[in-house]
Structure 1
Amino acid sequence: MRYMATYDMMETLRNTNQWMGATAKAMASYPMFAMVPNPAFQWMSAWGEVTERAYARMVVKPGWRLDFVSTEDGKDHLVEVETLLAKPFGDLIHFAVPGRRPRDRKVLLVAPMSGHYATLLRSTVRSLLPDCEVYITDWHNARDIPVSAGKFDVEDYTLYLAEFIRELGSDTHVIAVCQPGPIALVATAYLAATTPEAQPASLTLIGGPIDPDANPSDVTDFGNRVQMGQLEETMIQQVGFQHAGVGRRVYPGLLQLMSFMSMNSDTHGKAFTDQIIRTAQGEARDNDKHNRFYDEYLAVMDMTAEFYLSTVHRIFKQREVARNAFYVQGIHADISKITSVPVIVVEGENDDISAPGQCLAALDLLTGLPDSLKAAHLEPGAGHYGIFAGKSWRNNIRPLVLEFIAGTQEHRKKKPSKV
């Protein structure tokens, strides 16, 4: 119960700060105060507005906000979010564009389960929609999943991903962003061992910790600095009574957010101070750069305890993927058995989360894959976020990945069919 009490205490603090912000904004906006203009009221209202918005966003799943996509017919077509496969811990969704010609390239974006919702890849989805049929893994907030749904660990994640790929078919091009990089690799290896005909058409790994020890960063080396018992004691809590997942052991999103913010506390502090100033001066807008970023960044979700702990233990501490020793339900997901799936690795030169070299290690593990089906790209000057959502992605990496996918499609056409 003490873990449940801690969970509820964190939510109480968040709720209280949201209430304080709303109260300050309401009090400073009281009509009578307009008779005696005072900058103090403007500052109070600005602080309240920014504070209320920030703390309210922490418990709201952002919408996709993909209104339309322009196509070659010169028209803007609406985008509809369709659920193709619904499962307890995550859905496979499709961004359908009614009225346009179906695209030849079918892309599955594997979103991270690392504290944020899949909507973190909204700009990635938007950039791919004109050229591809886009699908994505939409992971659920663990606090909303009843205990009766069972566990969800790193093996279950792998099985989910394998099932999603089977559902879409072998003409699917998988793009794994950050955390799911190693899992996408072993899911492909698992398919190679169990249902080779279901392997994806290509695999793109973007900034994933395939081998965390290849070039340790403060984030990926965290697992080596702490014991599993410490993690379980300090990070794991039980969901409170107000949620459907009451009693489920989780790594709370609010606790994860504290870790995210502490990594660049000076930068975040300045960003919020500047936003309060802009709000007080009447320069802030509902959809300005600050609000667009932090509406997404502050929206966090709980991870199941077993997924978090098994990921730290097996991916980072034991390095099971890096050692090609990952098993799924007793079956060795042997990466060397991947012999026909083209793989490209994308890294950022200034990535301080998955440092250069960690993702590149995948190519050394693919001993059964011809060098002609391997590719790698190091984006100069790019940080972690930039390699999948920023200017580097839009201008350099996206065209490169689409060109790689087009090349793999040509390779599949030329490949003689088996009788």
Structure 2
Amino acid sequence: MLPEARMLYQFIEYQRSLIEPWTAWAAQATNAFTDRDCFLAHIPGASCFAASYEMLYRLGKTYGKPAFGITAFDADGRVVAVDEQVVLERPFCRLLRFAHDPVAAPGRKPAVLVCAPLAGHHAVLLREVVEMLLPAHEVYVTDWRDARYVPVAEGPFRLDDCVGEIQAFIRHIGGQRLHVLAVCQATVPALAAVSLLASAGEPTPRSLVLIGGPIDARSNPTAVGSLAARQPLAWFERNLIYAVPAQYPGAGRKVYPSFLQHAGLVMAHPARMVGAQWDYYLDLLQRDAEHAQAHRRACDEYNAVLDMAAEFYLDTIRIVFREFQLARSSWNVRGQAVRPQDIRDTALLTVEGELDDIAGRGQTQAAHELCSGIAACHKRHITARQCGHYELFSGPSWRSEVYPRVRDLIRQYA
């Protein structure tokens, strides 16, 4: 790679600095056309000007990590406060707990560990999963840190380390009362973590729910898998890995940068990105504050992308999408063989989307054959109709088709 190319991350930061004044000006202009105390808000077409400047602002702004912002939920007409707590703090991940209903005895409700994917977006992308689970469950979430903020002194972070973190979280919560729900790429380390616990004779979760993940990426390979198979590993390292610039705590750490990941997400799902922004623009034009806030939050969450540790990303490409080590029973984590067939006391539910273009049909269901030690009566699979990848954990398909099956499984094995 040419020296100029190695400076790409720093060039992007320079560009952000250059357009920052224009972005701030666009934000001020938006406020001027929406502030009722300003004369500009009363001129004809004020909402059109405000919406246009807001779009200009959002094109140039830097999207930081959004907050879950879940402070309460409605329980049969009673407002229940929610307290977001950091249970464990690790260099690359925090274990969050959404605590509520202090009157209830600790551990009275089923505990669910939501394993968020470390695949670009922050864990907040699973907000609807947490919101739906909260009323009837004690919810924990793996909140992966942006690698640009992790000092080099903390060492590398590999796929094996991700498996180890999930194992530690399961042990901390207590496998005897726990249900694990893993989404997208988190399904791979989650299944490995439970497998290793079973092989070691440790308590395993009561149930394991795998949603839209590449357990066996050979089945109906998507664009992600095809790219991984087509290009040698050195190509990914040469073209997608850069060092974090000096202005961040993780200066010098090799990462797969957020700006490259975001560009890939937009190219893969342009309609999703444009559609969300267009809906938000129309809300602003119509001065529909309630819907505008919901669409703005969705846009913020989708545009907020974290840097991924280079070791983890390259391990994922090699182990999951090139060598298919989990599916081929050839994966060793820290010297221990990953043997899903050793899982016996955990119920299994796999969920796929009929139109999923990230994890193809059959990739997640492959877990059933691997988990041969689980009796057939404790295995279930559903394919959500007319459902894409993101709809598996958000929107109507998640709420009406996927979540009810998850809830019923947890109730049965709680």
> 2:276 & 2:401 partners in 1: Cα distance?
28
> 2:125 & 2:27 partners in 1: Cα distance?
29
Q: 1:21 to 1:166 in 2, by over 3 A?
A: same
Please name the residue that 2:183 is paired with: 177
Instruction: Report the CA distance between 1:22 and its aligned residue.
Output: 2.8
Instruction: Report the CA distance between 1:220 and its aligned residue.
Output: 2.7
Instruction: Report the CA distance between 1:19 and its aligned residue.
Output: 3.4
1:93 equivalent in alignment to 2:129:
no
| Counterpart mapping for 1:16-415 below 5 A | 16-24=18-26, 26=28, 29=32, 34=40, 45-58=50-63, 60-71=64-75, 74-102=77-105, 103-170=108-175, 171-194=177-200, 196-269=201-274, 271-272=276-277, 275-276=280-281, 279=284, 282=287, 287-409=292-414
> 1:55 & 1:326 partners in 2: Cα distance?
43
**1:87-138 deviation line (CA, Å, top 9, x unaligned):** 1000111100143424421100000111111111111101100000000101
CA contact (8 A) 1:81 1:94 kept: yes
CA contact (8 A) 1:17 1:51 kept: no
**1:389-416 deviation line (CA, Å, top 9, x unaligned):** 221111121111111112223xxxxxxx
Give the residue type in structure 2 aligned to 1:77.
V
Tell me how many residue pairs correspond in the alignment. 405
**1:214-258 deviation line (CA, Å, top 9, x unaligned):** 111112322112111111111111111111000000011111001
* Of 361-370 and 96-105, the range deviating more from structure 2: 96-105
Q: Select which of 2, 6, 9 maps to 2:8.
A: 6
Instruction: Report the CA distance between 1:9 and its aligned residue.
Output: 1.5
Give the residue type in structure 2 aligned to 1:172.
L
* Of 224-233 and 153-162, the range deviating more from structure 2: 224-233
Q: 1:35 to 1:91 in 2, by over 3 A?
A: closer
Q: 1:313 to 1:65 in 2, by over 3 A?
A: same
Q: 1:77 to 1:26 in 2, by over 3 A?
A: closer
Q: Secondary structure at the match of 1:301?
A: coil
Instruction: Report the CA distance between 1:51 and its aligned residue.
Output: 2.8
Consecutive unaligned residues of structure 1, counting only runs of 5 or more, are 410-419
Q: 1:19 to 1:226 in 2, by over 3 A?
A: farther
**TM-score, normalised with respect to structure 1:** 0.89
CA contact (8 A) 1:89 1:145 kept: yes
Instruction: Report the CA distance between 1:80 and its aligned residue.
Output: 0.6
Q: Secondary structure at the match of 1:179?
A: helix
Give the residue type in structure 1 aligned to 2:309.
T
Give the residue type in structure 2 aligned to 1:160.
E
> 1:223 & 1:355 partners in 2: Cα distance?
15
CA contact (8 A) 1:68 1:78 kept: yes
Q: 1:42 to 1:80 in 2, by over 3 A?
A: closer
> 2:17 & 2:284 partners in 1: Cα distance?
22
**TM-score, normalised with respect to structure 2:** 0.90
> 2:4 & 2:222 partners in 1: Cα distance?
33
CA contact (8 A) 1:54 1:295 kept: no
Instruction: Report the CA distance between 1:300 and its aligned residue.
Output: 0.9
Q: Secondary structure at the match of 1:152?
A: coil
Instruction: Report the CA distance between 1:268 and its aligned residue.
Output: 2.9
Report percent identity of matched pairs: 34
